[in-house]
Amino acid sequence: METRKIGSLDVSIVGVGCNNFGRRIDADAAAKVVNAALDAGINFFDTADVYGQGQSEEFLSRALGQRRSQVIIATKFRSKMDGQGEGASPDYIRVAVEASLRRLKTDVIDLYQLHSPDDSVPIADTLGALDDLVKAGKVREIGSSNFSAVQIREAEAASQAAHGAGFVSVQNYYSMLHREPEPDVLNECERLGLGFLPYFPLESGLLTGKIRAGQPVPEGTRLSNAETQHRFVNDQRLAIVEKLIAYAESKGHTILELAFSWLLAKPVVASVIAGATKPEQIHANTAAPNWKLSAADLAEIDTLLA
């Protein structure tokens, strides 16, 4: 599978978002997803300590076993962990990283990400603590998540002033139906050479073709949850989805393939880290980037999205 750069890391352009591990699926089901991903050439797994309150990291580690050296693991800190704490202070970072290393059963985290900004802690202090982890060999690269363009610039200035490690990636919500990172955040990533990681690339399943206008939401899907459905589904979005399905099918493809290919048409996007609960979803995700969109395709898609 094709790879792209995140700092010094070479990540597969299709990754696995492990937010379902410990939440929607158990350890055995997670292992099936991980095995399918490895068989398909995926080397990039993105998790967080807060997913399943540590279970996602544990399930990932258990599934990888002796194959840890074959993959790139990204995890996150900042959110509240029961009995552990929360935040981005240097003291808490030292606690959080040791806990993640223990759950992941590894000596080093490839990409350690600040899950969201912590306004109570100067970014220079957070970066200083992360730089210490890099120098100690416990973390290879550091990244941010849910940062604005202004916050990305502030972090870059702080790391430059300290001559220390700086963020090499930004993970924000981005999809065909949610284009907020355009243009500010994406432009900032391009300017600084940061890899961009879109989360919710399939809009929690809305861009898979399972959800159709005028039809009930299938049971057992993420969108069958009332709260999730309220967040991601409305009549306007469903109307756009119908247009996208028709366009993709006219080209001999699926809307899922369109969602992946559209994101990967942007060189700044390093990897599309879609979640999965079963191997069949991994197979569909890894086949998706085979559709290379032309400039004409992208212009036509922009018209549909408008």
Q: Could you list the active site residues?
A: 51
Query: Which DSSP string do the residues of 40-100 spell out, in sequence order?
Result: TT--EEE--TTGGGGHHHHHHHHHHGGGGGGSEEEEEE-S-BTTTB-S--HHHHHHHHHHH
Angle of helix 184-192 relative to helix 149-162, nearest 10 degrees, comes to 20
Cis peptide before 201 (omega within 30 of 0): no
CB atoms within 10 A of CB 14: 25
The label of the residue with tokens 């300590």 reads: 49
Six-digit token pair at 257?
């393939």
In which residue are the tokens 């459905």 written? 229
Q: Which of 170, 130, 138 is nearest to 7 (CA)?
A: 170
Nearest C-alpha neighbor of 5 from the set 146, 161, 106, 110:
110
What is the rounded CA–CA span in Å between residue 247 and residue 114? 38
CA distances 225 to 20, 174, 280, Å, are 14, 21, 22
